[in-house]
Amino acid sequence: MDISTYTSSTLLKIPSHLLRMAMKETQGQENCHEYYTETGICEHNQCASQCTSKRNGTGRCIVGTKICICNYNCKF
């Protein structure tokens, strides 16, 4: 399932601290984010583990959905 299939009301449930993390810029680095779609309701431990192993980042679930948001440092 693609993130674009979720309604705007679902996307509005993204906690504001995650949005701030995704937009924050630091010296030569930027925080990027990636969305993972789980098979069932997102579980915090699985989300965090997947994000750490793939991007060395921090994973957080959007409560009550299948979406895991992975925040990580990246360079452009």
* pLDDT tens figures, 13-59: 555 555 455 454 445 568 999 999 989 999 999 999 999 999 999 99
Query: Domain total for the chain?
Result: 1
Q: Can you give the pTM of this predicted structure?
A: 0.60
Query: What's the confidence (pLDDT) of residue 11?
Result: 47
Query: What's the confidence (pLDDT) of residue 22?
Result: 46
CA distances from 66 to 26, 49, 73 (A): 30, 15, 23
Tokens 């993972």 belong to which residue?
36
What tokens does 52 get? Answer: 């750490």
Query: What's the confidence (pLDDT) of residue 4?
Result: 44
Query: What's the confidence (pLDDT) of residue 9?
Result: 46
Give SS3 for 43. coil
Domain limits at 31? 3-74
Q: How far apart are CA 59 and CA 8, in angstroms?
A: 21
